[in-house]
Structure 1
């Protein structure tokens, strides 16, 4: 913290421990349903008692101290929600990995976070074994379910039922969560999220994304709790909203709609690729969507044609937010009432909305100067939702902050009214013949062809132009390269026109369901299409 301003120093920086959200919900509605998965049901009082018991055991049996990091490797389960709140209640830092990551990847996350305790689902013995062998700082490995590698959270909880932990006192800037970046441009980095920051994020989510939530609402989890979905569910707990988990890690759209009908699900957090799958699935045509209030999508831009299909199919229930894990999603919001399937006059086609409450957004040039409306530059932001920095990574911090502004690495522009339009990642932009080319614009045009389901445009080296665009497409019907090129003729400037169109059965996606250019480039190299001299031929 910097020194006093104007002679005034804060008397206290103490804030609420995030686990108190659970206690408050349990007091208001102890017998109400809190968590659902398959045939399992936990009431709010069950959830609270189990969390207390586990937190007490973490402190007394496993020696967890304030600030200790706890690695978690698991697919979604009720105990994962319990463990998250128990770790916070005991003063620890929650460090979840995406369950689809390999043992070696989880070893790296464990080492880089300095975790001293690990909770690993019984379905991942190889991950536990690798971390035990490679991470000497780990004192214990616990399991969700019966496993040979350690005692189960279920047994630990049962042994400690009725016990109360010493609830950790926390300050605003005390870490609560290491939120790992997806590592699309390098190894994942641990973004340090704090108790004070996350309390603001919860309040902001309720204000901007899902106003008016009550205990009558229900939320369906269709994404890993390790990242954005976990933040979303923390918000649900704050208002006593039921959390309904899919019965297995297998994503099945028919099951989604069965649970929506049974539990009158009103909120859902997802990413554009999953939302697209839901909208286009045959089961959706007969689904009861009447209970839906807010389907929040984030993590990547949603193409206009997909957005229109979703609005036509589901109604005006879409909420988009833009924000990186470092800002826990809190940069911009496009609420339900600003989503429209029709391209009416005055409609801001392609916007990701306006600045979130309490957040300031600027478009800046390379020197950090604010650019006027309409000019493209780097999207930067300040506000209480911005993280405390990357854990033990001063070089990344120096690169990501400038004059207090967090630099997102995304490019875009704002209109006169402050609505943001993303043109792409800075790393996705390529220069062809001296002109900047932003793939997002090209991808939007290609997706207007009825035979194209998904597309990614990226720049590859070229001896004449420096770089040229290649479009990797997933067709939904038969189409030839010349036909697609003819379709785009006149819709794009010549320098933006892709020089090659490739047709694949599917695009590689990250563990969070995102289409990432890094993975596509790696696949192009694996197929021998680029790399060495091939890209320059």
Structure 2
């Protein structure tokens, strides 16, 4: 069809590959190779596909799951959780994973918000099942992972449907496959709708920008919940037939993680900065052979420069940073190993989170949506195939999230002339002191150069004179006991005086979200609990 300004072609089809196809392809190519490791158990690609097919058949034939239905999953990392992702995909249903650290009320909210038809739940969370049943009017079934009173065991169901067959549902580009719940650090979690077409691009992009050269000879260690970025990372491994190794322990066991890296010759893993910090500060990293590592990917929050340098010195140039929200499925920037430098100079761009991912475009915009010049701070906005379809059943949130087609991240930052992005912080973290905008991250970076400070978070608190002032919450390194007054005196001259935190407190550990992030919302809640918002300088 010809139009006045050029040729317009009406698409004949928006059909795309069902993401289950990644598993089917790897099972076809590498049926006898190990696909998944958990504790002492291993599954080949053929065995994994057979189990997924059996659960898909059960969901369809016994529980009535059809294309578009949502299935909530509440579980610690395990083979059943991993399998449930592909069983949902195969039916064209929507996988709705919850972080296993969430409370029963929080999971019940996810069940009601998503309209989940059923719940697959670990047997150690019976109260979550009961809460979901009481809260949701549409939940029809539950499946237990392990023996439980509240539902039939997942493995027993797989055994019953082992010989059943099920067809893979045809899907279009915009058919949803995953409800990726935001972490909810600034309010109730929202369900970001990820689609089959979008995720096909994301997997390709991850392989292109984060882990080039990944093949079935690689192995990936999971050290974070599959419900979030780690799940997307593992989907990428399945696409290439690379084996996945799950930690056998409920809590993060650093020594065990390094043992598994050595045993399975792990070549990549997905982490967040707090986990990477723990991995590289633990003595086991010096005791185990980790020479097989090629890509240690960290995301979820910017990594402080001091921790980045220590990771580089410990692991070598294998660390990869990416910046991206769940709504953009991690696909905004990448900082590959070649752009990680030990030396500190303008040419090495310390503090950058990288440049735009392949196929994505970044714009730094002012409050009116106008793009600002390089070096000017504004809101980080993005367009491209990795951007989600929108929030489920939340038109108000969608209206706020998009402007002129751009997705608004809510993060502040600036770009240099070459297109490298520097994150200043969340817009909600900025505070105004004496009429000046204060960005906590800059202050935090300075405080972390103190030899006795391990972690820090700066928040703005009310002040009768300046409107707001900075309060720094710090964690001291083991074996040290710095005084608050001494640290503030040490900072004098290292930054403009109006940016200096007026108060500083020490805590034994920093509260973190279910995904391992240091969340300012949790910091404020803890300050209130400790009655420290109005206290003078103290330890």
Q: TM-score band, normalised by the shorter chain? A: over 0.9
Distance in 2, Cα, partners of 1:155 & 1:408:
44
Residue 534 (structure 1) shift: 10
Distance in 2, Cα, partners of 1:153 & 1:215:
28
> How many residue pairs get matched?
532
Specify every segment of 5 or more residues in structure 2 that has no aligned partner in the other structure, as ranges. Answer: none
Residue 25 of structure 2 corresponds to 24
Q: Deviations over 1:422-445 (max 9, x none)?
A: 000000000000000000000000
CA contact (8 A) 2:273 2:298 kept: yes
Distance in 1, Cα, partners of 2:365 & 2:76:
39
Residue 131 of structure 2 corresponds to 130
| Matching of residue 454 in structure 1 with residue 455 in structure 2 | yes
Residue 361 of structure 1 corresponds to 362
Distance in 2, Cα, partners of 1:50 & 1:396:
38
Residue 350 of structure 1 corresponds to 351
Residue 501 of structure 2 corresponds to 498
SS at match of 1:76: coil
Residue 105 of structure 1 corresponds to 106
1:255-404 mapped onto 2 (5 Å cutoff): 255-344=256-345, 346-404=347-405
Residue 223 (structure 1) shift: 0.2
| Matching of residue 251 in structure 1 with residue 252 in structure 2 | yes
| Matching of residue 519 in structure 1 with residue 530 in structure 2 | no
CA contact (8 A) 1:528 1:534 kept: no
Q: Deviations over 1:380-417 (max 9, x none)?
A: 00000000000011110000100000000000000000
Distance in 2, Cα, partners of 1:507 & 1:423:
21
Residue 64 (structure 1) shift: 0.3
Residue 167 (structure 1) shift: 1.1
Distance 1:55 1:5, change over 3 A: farther
Distance in 2, Cα, partners of 1:333 & 1:429:
24
Distance in 1, Cα, partners of 2:8 & 2:305:
52
Distance 1:163 1:293, change over 3 A: same
Residue 197 of structure 1 corresponds to 198
Distance in 1, Cα, partners of 2:8 & 2:245:
50
Residue 77 of structure 1 corresponds to 78
Residue 10 of structure 2 corresponds to 9
1:170-189 mapped onto 2 (5 Å cutoff): 170-189=171-190
1:425-436 mapped onto 2 (5 Å cutoff): 425-436=426-437
CA contact (8 A) 2:109 2:135 kept: no
CA contact (8 A) 1:143 1:150 kept: yes
1:403-482 mapped onto 2 (5 Å cutoff): 403-476=404-477, 477-482=480-485
TM-score normalised over the length of structure 1: 0.97
Residue 489 of structure 1 corresponds to 492
Distance in 1, Cα, partners of 2:109 & 2:489:
47
SS at match of 1:346: helix
1:530 maps to which of 513, 526, 533: 533
Distance in 1, Cα, partners of 2:379 & 2:193:
22
Distance in 1, Cα, partners of 2:8 & 2:352:
43
CA contact (8 A) 1:69 1:93 kept: yes
Residue 126 (structure 1) shift: 1.0
CA RMSD of superposed structures (Å): 1.5
CA contact (8 A) 1:266 1:294 kept: yes
Distance in 2, Cα, partners of 1:133 & 1:389:
28
Distance in 1, Cα, partners of 2:450 & 2:318:
26
Distance in 2, Cα, partners of 1:340 & 1:25:
36
Residue 5 (structure 1) shift: 8.9
Larger mean Cα displacement after TM superposition, 5-14 or 473-482: 5-14
TM-score normalised over the length of structure 2: 0.97
1:39-118 mapped onto 2 (5 Å cutoff): 39-118=40-119
Q: Deviations over 1:312-333 (max 9, x none)?
A: 0011000000000000100000
Q: Deviations over 1:3-55 (max 9, x none)?
A: 99954211000000000100000011000000000111100000111111111
Residue 208 of structure 1 corresponds to 209
Residue 231 of structure 2 corresponds to 230
SS at match of 2:330: coil
CA contact (8 A) 2:432 2:468 kept: yes
Specify every segment of 5 or more residues in structure 1 that has no aligned partner in the other structure, as ranges. Answer: none
Residue 515 (structure 1) shift: 0.2
SS at match of 2:381: strand
Residue 291 (structure 1) shift: 0.4
Distance in 2, Cα, partners of 1:414 & 1:442:
20
Q: Deviations over 1:242-291 (max 9, x none)?
A: 00000121211110111001100000000000110111112112221110
Distance in 2, Cα, partners of 1:373 & 1:134:
49
Residue 220 (structure 1) shift: 0.2
Distance in 2, Cα, partners of 1:140 & 1:534:
54
